[in-house]
Amino acid sequence: MTKKTFIIHILMLLVGMSMAAQTKSGLSPEAFVADINGKQTALYTITNPNGMEACITNFGARLVSLMAPGKRGMEDVVLGFDNINDYISLKQNFGATVGRYIGRIKGARFVLDGKEHQLQGFGKGNISHGGKPGFANVVWDVVSKTDSSLTLRYLSPDGEAGFPGNLTVTLTYTLTAANTLKIDYEATTDKPTVLNISNHSFFNISGHPEKDILHEELMVNSKKIATFDAQKNLDGGFRKVKGTPFDFRKPKAIGQDIDKDDEQLTITKGYDHSFVLKNRKGELLLQASLVDQKAGRQMIVYTTEPALHIYTANGLKGNQKGKRGIAYPCRSAICFEAMHLADSPNHPEFPSTVLRPGETWHSTTVYQFTTSTRQPTTCLTGPVTVFGLGIGLAGLLVAGIVSLIK
C-alpha cells in the first residue's frame, strides 16, 4: 500500500467515524467537548426501542435534543444549541437543570431554624435560579450510563451562592419503552438547607422551532395560580383560574387568551406563572398535556411536584440561533417547570422546601409522547393518576403505563 493510499484510507475512516458519531438530531459530539475549570464536558446519547433519542450534556445536566414520535416520524422537540461554546457564552437555560433554587427568592435571604442566610443578590436584590454559578452552569460528574439512561451527580459546596450545607444531587435521565423521558432526582445535605430543582427544557412539539407555539392546545390540571406583585415577585396570594385567561382545565390553544387585558399577563408579557397542583403527597400524577394537531404529536406531563411553572418563552427575541441555525422567535416554546413555589423559604404557608441531614429529597417528572391527539376533555375533581390514562387518552396502551411506572 502506497503512502498516498494509506492516507486516503485513514481519511475515509475518520469521515466514517464522524458520520457514525452524528446523532439522529444532527448533533456532533465533538462540538460538546471542552475543559471547564479542569472538568471535561461531553455529549451523551440515550435511546429507546422505538427510535426515540435524547442527547444530554453534563454541562448543566442539560437536555440538548429530544427526538419524539409524530405523524411525520421522529422530530426534535426541544430548543437548544449545537455546541458547548454557545451554552457557555449565551447564558440561556435551554434544557438546563436549574438549582439550587429555581425561581426567585425575594431579598436574597431566608431564615431557617432562627438563623438568617444571606444569598447572592442580583436583579433588585433578589436571587434567581440559584445564583452564580447555578446548577445550569457547572460540570456534572457522570455516575453511570446505559443505552437508555444517564445518571449525573453534582456536589454543591457549603456556602455556594450563600446556601448552607454540602448538597449532593443525583439525577437520572431515562428513556422508556412507553416513549417517556423520565427525570429522577435525589439530594442529601449535611446541614439544614432549602432546595428547589427543576428541568428548564423549552418544548416546541411541532418540530418547527422557527414558529411559535400559540396554536398548540394545552390542558393543565390546576384550579389556581400563584400571583406576582408588580416587580414579578410572588406576593403570597393565589388566584382561581375560573373565568380568567389562566383556565386550562379544558384544552385550549395557548394563544387564545395570552394577550388578554389581564394584570398578571401584563406583568409577565404572557404566561410565566406557577399553576398550583393538587398533589401534596408526592405521587406521580398526570398534570398537563400539550397537543399539536398538525404534527400529530401529544406530550403528557406527570410530576410528583406541587406546582407546574408554565413559561411561554416571552423573552425570546429571535436574536439567538440554535440548532440547525434556526433563530428562535418570541413564544417559540413552552416550558413545564415542575417545582415547588418560588420564595417558599419566606412563605411558611407554601409547601416546604427544607431538607435536613439524614433525609433524602426525591422528585420525579415524566414527559410522555404519543401520536394520539385526544386530550382529557375536562379537569376531573381530583388529579388524574398514571393509572387513569384511559380517560381521553385511548391511544396509550396498558403496557406503556406499566413501563412508565417502573
Residues marked active site are found at: 200, 337
Q: Which residues contact 153 (CB under 8 A, 6 or more apart)?
A: 140, 141, 143, 168, 169, 170, 171
H-helix or E-strand containing 20?
Answer: helix 3-21
- In 3D space, the residue among 20, 97, 89, 100 whose CA is nearest the CA of residue 56 turns out to be 97
Note the helical H segments in 112-196. Answer: none
Tally of CB atoms within 10 A around 186: 16
* Lookup: cell for 10: 485513514
**Residues 204, 77: Cα–Cα separation, whole Å:** 5
**Residues 335, 94: Cα–Cα separation, whole Å:** 10
At position 216, the amino acid (one-letter code) is E
**Residues 80, 62: Cα–Cα separation, whole Å:** 9
Q: Which residues contact 58 (CB under 8 A, 6 or more apart)?
A: 41, 42, 44, 139, 140, 141, 142, 152
Instruction: Give CA 358 to chain center in angstroms.
Output: 28
H-helix or E-strand containing 10?
Answer: helix 3-21
- Scan for cell 406521580, then name that residue: 284
**Residues 61, 172: Cα–Cα separation, whole Å:** 10
Contact 63, 93 (CB under 8 A): no
**Helix count and strand count (H, E) for the chain:** 4, 29
* CA within 13 Å, CB half, 157: 5
At position 355, the amino acid (one-letter code) is L
DSSP one-letter code for 99: -
